[in-house]
Amino acid sequence: MSRKIFVLFTLLALTAALLACTGAPPTSAPPTSAPATSAPQATTAPPATTASAARPIKVGIVDTYSGPPAAFGNDALNGFKLALSEINKDGVLGSNIEFVTRDDKYQPDTALSMAKELILEEKVDVLVGTVNSAAALAISSFAKEQKVPYIVWIAKSEAITGAKGHRYVFSTSENSAMAGKAGAEALAQKPYTKYWIAGEDYEYGHAIANAAWDNLKALKPDVTKAGETWWKTGEPDLTPYLTAIMAAKPDAIIFATGGAGMTNVLKTAKAMGLSDQIPIWIHTAIDTSVLKPLGANAPEGVMGTMDYLFYYPETPENKAFVKAYQDAYSAPPGFPAFHAYNTAHFIAEAFKKAGALDKEKFIDAMEGLKIDSPTGEIEMRACDHQVVEPLFMGVTKKNPQFEFMTASDLVSVAGKDVMPSCEEVLKKRSQ
């Protein structure tokens, strides 16, 4: 063998050995391709956008799911679920919104305990609820401490976004300041001058009474307060209280109560004939969730204010919402369902705007955010985190279309016209 041939064979042998050590296929081996159904192969440096799927947005709900107020909590939950069925079709930030619930049993201390569990153990991104105003205020304080966004969807005390408001609390419900001013505007147009105020001795009761009276006094300075009557929350027998009020013969009565307590007021007022003798105003007295259970036992002619009625306004958006809710739950939606439905859409749109699962960015995105609701465009006011939405005023009346009373002579009032100014809210907070 010549020297040149020997060198050539030596080089070929070394090359083959080197290829064997590196695991590279021989140059003569045909290229291989993975079948279309095989799993993608791992790489050492994947693009950041495909490293992992976005995790779900986790919402914690603290609300009342036992006892009479559970009707409000369940209605809200159904409205929230209806909205999620729409939102999760396309998702948010590449994932879905999930939720976990806790029953506060209408007790502020239980509500706070449940909120702590959801924030500290469940690690929720957003907290929502509740029926009870005192519970809402307790949770609000803890949410502020933990820097977790908390959205109140039923409780109506103006203190929530007013004097005790802060960066981490929002409200998608009309509050007592708005309701009181709307009611006062309606009452100021009436000839009544001598009023009696009565209601349940709890946070919301006093808040709605003060808001209604202060605004009425400002609009009509000649009105006088003949007296006040307060009873404990859940008082079963209101006859002695209403008997004393009737004996005082006021021109009109402002009842400061809500939920099951208001149902009891309306039922007792009709049974005693009080509603036939003395004009009455109660915020939410025209609400379906109050009037429907009473049926024929509800009194006619009671003035009320509300931010949602399933039969008004008669717009395509409201009709579509009512139909979807009716199809899903075999009943028309009440105001809690409306609030919770809007809350879900606020959450979805805020996270989309924030572009990340970041609580501080979420709060920034919520401020000034506008969404389309069944009653039209609504806004989360930036200065106090209070929703700006219309209110409706009317009078209870029999309706041949339904087995329960509805509201007649309805008038719509713009939310901006019944809200305290940002300056007023910030002044209260500073005090």
Q: Which pLDDT tens digit goes with each residue over 171-181?
A: 999 999 999 99
User: CB of 151 within 8 A of CB of 130?
Assistant: no
User: CB of 321 within 8 A of CB of 341?
Assistant: yes
- Residue 260 pLDDT class (50, 70, 90 cuts): confident
CATH 3.40.50.2300 domain span(s) along the chain: 57-174+313-388, 178-306
- State the pLDDT at residue 281: 98
- Report the CATH fold assignment for 57-174+313-388: Rossmann fold (3.40.50)
Segment 200-217 mean pLDDT: 94
Q: How far, in Å, CA of 371 to CA of 96, rounded? A: 19
- State the pLDDT at residue 68: 83
* Tokens matching residue 298: 């509800």
- Residue 10 pLDDT class (50, 70, 90 cuts): very low
Output the CATH code of domain 178-306. 3.40.50.2300
Q: What is the pTM of this model?
A: 0.83
Of 341, 340, 331, 336, which is closest to residue 404 (Cα–Cα)? Answer: 331
- State the pLDDT at residue 110: 98
pLDDT in tens, 128-173: 999 999 999 999 999 999 999 999 999 999 999 999 999 999 999 9
**Is residue 49 pLDDT above 50, yes or no?**
no
- State the pLDDT at residue 289: 84
- Residue 339 pLDDT class (50, 70, 90 cuts): very high
Segment 38-66 mean pLDDT: 61
Q: How far, in Å, CA of 408 to CA of 399, rounded? A: 9
User: CB of 97 within 8 A of CB of 87?
Assistant: yes
- State the pLDDT at residue 166: 98
- State the pLDDT at residue 326: 97
Segment 319-327 mean pLDDT: 98
- Residue 344 pLDDT class (50, 70, 90 cuts): very high
- State the pLDDT at residue 376: 96
Q: How far, in Å, CA of 345 to CA of 374, rounded? A: 12
- State the pLDDT at residue 408: 96
